[in-house]
Amino acid sequence: MKQYAQRIDALQDQLYAEGKQRLLIVFQAMDTAGKDGTIRSVFEKMDPQGLSVASFKRPNTRELAHDYLWRIHRHVPGNGQVTIFNRSHYEDIIAVRVRNIFPRERWSRRYKHIVNFEKLLADEGTTILKFFLHISKAEQKERLQARLDEADKHWKFNPGDLVDRELWPQFMTAYGDVLSKTSTDYAPWYIIPADRKWYRNLLVADILIKTLESLHMVYPPIEYDPASVVID
């Protein structure tokens, strides 16, 4: 991971300096699968100037007054930027479906909306990576219990997580549909085994490096001869 972190740092430096390409990374997962931990571990060496993280919670009143992709589109990366979505527009299918917030007629249309939205981003120069961190129900139980057993983790525990845990089969079905219906050549899903944190981080870092290398980035040309510059 130390070697990977150095390589990621160098590649992001090229991306930022070139200023022509963009990278959007999406993380989705059940609670405790490690979205935050993955972001801290894999992206720790990236320059904050070219990196941003957008976390999408329950939409507020202003966001609800617009279409559901309005709040998402505002956070997509610009040239030379890397943006990470900690949860994303996929909550507007998964959560509303499992919790019966909207009828099927409404949320089922969103598969097509999102596929087209991501095609727009890709056509305009955004490279998209989507990671589903796949934790087992048994491992989630251990991690939730750890939050109760350790005082400095109490703040992480939300009793509402247990409600979602009871809906595990429904969430797995919803995720299965999302992964199969919205994974495309221009915005692929990667299913990452997440029970072992080191392995989860290693896989994400490896895919990230290969993707950045595939962009064939170059530093911008300079209009002077460095050898001719004399600094008094």
Domain for residue 49, yes or no?
A: yes
Based on the structure, what is the number of domains in the chain?
1
- For residue 187, the domain's CATH number is 3.40.50.300
Question: What's residue 127's pLDDT?
Answer: 98
Q: pLDDT (tens digit, 9 = 90+) per residue, 1-36?
A: 989 999 999 999 999 999 999 999 999 999 999 999
Question: What's residue 196's pLDDT?
Answer: 97
Residue 84 bridge partners (DSSP): 25, 53
Q: pLDDT (tens digit, 9 = 90+) per residue, 31-58?
A: 999 999 999 999 998 999 999 999 998 8
DSSP string over 66-118: S-TTHHHHTTS--TT-EEEEES-TTHHHHHHHHTTSS-HHHHTTHHHHHHHHH
Domain for residue 212, yes or no?
A: yes
Domain for residue 205, yes or no?
A: yes
Full residue range of the structural domain in which residue 50 is found: 2-136+167-216
Domain for residue 226, yes or no?
A: no
Chain-centroid distance, C-alpha 25: 4
Domain for residue 108, yes or no?
A: yes
Low-confidence ranges of the chain (pLDDT < 50): none
Domain for residue 231, yes or no?
A: no
Domain for residue 71, yes or no?
A: yes
Domain for residue 83, yes or no?
A: yes
